[in-house]
Amino acid sequence: MRGNDHMRADSHLHSAFSTDGVSEMEELVRAGIAQGFSCMIFTEHKDIGMPKEEGEEDYDFSALDTDAYFRRGRELREKYAGQIKIGLGVEAGMLAERMPEIDAFVRSAGFDEIIASQHLILGHDCYWTKYYAHLSPQEAAHRWIGDIYRNLSAMPEYDILAHPDYLLRYAGQEEDRRYALYSDSYAPVLRMLAENGKALEVNIGSLRRGGNITVFYQDILRHYRDLGGELVSIGTDAHSAEGYGTGFEMAEEMLRICGFRFYAYFVNRAPETVKL
């Protein structure tokens, strides 16, 4: 695990190669250079089995043209060599009945970094709360966290667990976004990450929402550290070059407050660290 001082590294962002991405890769690279980033790891969506919702048929989260993505990424690596490091990763959505297929895909493609994401509950994106409205927000969250544990157990080839608050962005009210309500359910997930040398993500897209989500991240980071977790990552989760990098300092400061001295990004599936 190599260390780097005086860097800024984004481990989670999307270009137009993702179905919901807005900006082309080069637009994002230029924005990253302008904002002083030293490394950007693109993590395009690949959500095998993600259903298409009514009114959003144009979005296909299961589609990723890996060949075109890699080809363009390598062109930009060469063009911007010496200015910024560009990594080519994937954000792999987890779905229990498709885990063998998902695991085979991430193993075969040669990604620099693999982010594991639990976007779904009861077979639908957490954004669509109507599909789990029969559950209380806290019941839904406990069920969703259980899905994270089971699916990570079936997918050993990943590097980072993304946005541990994802369902709570959409479900319930501020009082439902207190980490203490879910710490017992999250303990085995965090212990698994710590024991297997995986990273827990601080997602800037979440932090910018404010409220109890900010406190949630402080509490889960402290719990993770208490359980022996050392590897953490910072992801902008950007889908556009507009406003790129806003809030990154907030994530860095939160990690310092919670006792972390570095954060990580992955190159060729190996962690490299940035001193805080």
Task: Tell me which DSSP letter residue 238 carries.
Answer: B
pLDDT at 58 over 70: yes
Residue 206's pLDDT is 87
Task: Tell me which DSSP letter residue 252 carries.
Answer: H
CA angle 34, 37, 41 (to 5 degrees): 120
Task: Tell me the per-residue pLDDT of 8-26, one tens digit each, with 9 for 90 and over.
Answer: 999 999 999 999 999 999 9
Residue 255's pLDDT is 97
Mean pLDDT of 60-67: 93
Residue 3's pLDDT is 52
Mean pLDDT of 206-233: 92
pLDDT at 239 over 70: yes
Residue 248's pLDDT is 95
* Local confidence band at 193 (pLDDT 50, 70, 90 cut-offs): very high
Burial of 79 (0-12, 13-18, 19+ CB in 10 A): exposed
* Local confidence band at 4 (pLDDT 50, 70, 90 cut-offs): low
Residue 208's pLDDT is 81
Give residue for tokens 């043209």.
65
Q: How far apart are CA 72 and CA 39, in angstroms?
A: 17
pLDDT at 146 over 90: yes
Residue 10's pLDDT is 98
Helix axis angle, 212-226 relative to 183-195, nearest 10°? 50
Mean predicted lDDT score pLDDT of the chain: 94
Mean pLDDT of 50-63: 85
Task: Tell me the per-residue pLDDT of 31-55, one tens digit each, with 9 for 90 and over.
Answer: 999 999 999 999 999 999 998 888 7
pLDDT at 5 over 60: no
pLDDT at 210 over 90: no
Burial of 268 (0-12, 13-18, 19+ CB in 10 A): exposed
Helix axis angle, 212-226 relative to 248-257, nearest 10°? 40
Q: How far apart are CA 259 and CA 59, in angstroms?
A: 40
Mean pLDDT of 108-121: 96
Residue 147's pLDDT is 97
Q: How far apart are CA 274 and CA 276, in angstroms?
A: 6
End-to-end Cα, the chain, rounded Å: 16
**Closest listed residue to residue 119, CA positions, set 155, 182, 57, 170:** 170
Residue 126's pLDDT is 96
Instruction: Report helix, strand or coil for 115.
Output: strand
Mean pLDDT of 74-88: 97
Domains and CATH numbers, the chain: 2-275 (3.20.20.140)
